[in-house]
Amino acid sequence: MPLVEQLQPFKSLSIIGMEKNTGKTTCCNYLLNQYRKGNRKIAVTSIGIDGEKNDLVTNTQKPEIEIFEGMGFVTSEYFFKKKKLTAEILEISQRSTSHGRLVFAKAVTSGKVILSGPNTTVWLKQVMEQLYLFGFDFLITDGALSRKSLASPTLSESLILTTGAALTPNLPELVRKTKFVYQLTQIEEFKSELKEKLINCESGIYALDDNEYLDLQIPSSFLLDSYKNELFAHGNTLYVAGIVTNTLLNTLRINKNVANITLIAKDFTKLFADKDVLNHYYRAGGKLKVLNKNKLIAICVNPVSPQGYVMDSQKLINALEKELDVPVYNIFFYS
């Protein structure tokens, strides 16, 4: 089934790259081009900066985001001024990023733009709600697997994961790493009336009990050594609003009541633990759930690395499809 058809039932999509240069921006451009003549009213934004001509880390050339007439987009004032298209401003936010306030706009002509969107989950949620009010019915968020962003790209209903030679040119290793992230996307969702309140927590660790939650006053899972006595002071169900680390999982694993512990992460992008550490936690009896879970629709691959290494595209697709229960596409073939 064509990728666009798979997305038809959903109102929103996040495109998340496993590594820089795995094809996230190309996938976004491919979808925008597919939607340019359709009936859906498309809007796009990004967590952080995306669409820059040259990657700021690797200094390699990147595809720019191309917006088509009638599509909406959200970016900061600084990058709005650098856009290569004519646009109607719909609204300007009161809050600012490091690149200025956010500009909600609608393309009058087609052209290229650098996307620089909200940097927290709460703000991203507000941006999405505002875009729906403007009449857009399908929202695309360009996200990432990153410790640096407080925003959660998994607020969207559906998800595409991009992987490829930039992650590693070694096929078995690429499949292994991608499979691990795929497994993280399948973690069970935590069902609770507290979800809307917890999603607004950007940091800290909380104890949950009988539809109530208590701030344990632990700023981060990176600071556990100073707060070990407080960790289980109010029960064994813990919600981590920030990053879940190896240290946290190992601390829970060696607890004598580990079989009664349920750890809840905001979403799979906040799980920065090694596969072995996570498996040890599971084997000890610990449970892990996520507050936000969306539908992984597909995996898109980029067989070319910035260093010029080119993998066999079909072998890559076949190897991934053998291990993962999800369609795999090489959208570079169509770009």
Residue 237 has pLDDT above 60, yes or no: yes
Report the Cα 138 to chain-centroid distance in Å: 17
Distance CA(262)–CA(124), nearest Å, equals 27
- CA neighbours closer than 13 Å in the CB half-sphere of residue 17: 21
> Judging by DSSP bridges, how do beta strands 12-17 and 158-164 pair with one another?
parallel
Backbone φ and ψ for 5, nearest 5 degrees, come out as -65, -35
Average pLDDT over residues 240-259: 93
Sequence-separated (6 or more) residues with CB below 8 Å from residue 289: 187, 188, 189, 190, 262, 263, 264, 265
Going along the chain from its start, the domains and CATH numbers come out as: 3-186+293-333 (3.40.50), 195-290 (3.40.140)
> Judging by DSSP bridges, how do beta strands 65-67 and 138-144 pair with one another?
unpaired
Instruction: Read off the amino acid at residue 322.
Output: K
Per-residue model confidence as pLDDT tens digits over 263-319: 999 999 999 999 999 999 999 999 999 999 889 999 999 999 988 899 999 999 999
- CA neighbours closer than 13 Å in the CB half-sphere of residue 213: 21
Q: How confident is the model at residue 173 (pLDDT cuts 50, 70, 90)?
A: very high
Interior angle at CA 274, CA 140 and CA 246, nearest 5: 105
Q: Check if the beta carbon of residue 96 is closer than 8 Å to that of residue 75.
A: no
Give me the residues paired with residue 16 across strands: 143, 161
Average pLDDT over residues 181-205: 92
Predicted structure pTM score: 0.90
Give the containing element (helix H, strand E) for 44: strand 42-46
Per-residue model confidence as pLDDT tens digits over 147-167: 556 667 778 999 999 999 999
DSSP codes of every residue in 214-245: EEEEE--GGGGGGTTTTTTTT-SEEEESS-EE
Q: Compute the mean pLDDT over every residue in the chain, rounded to the nearest whole number.
A: 90
Q: Give the chain's end-to-end CA distance (angstroms, integer).
A: 18
Residue 54 DSSP one-character state:
B
Q: How confident is the model at residue 51 (pLDDT cuts 50, 70, 90)?
A: very low
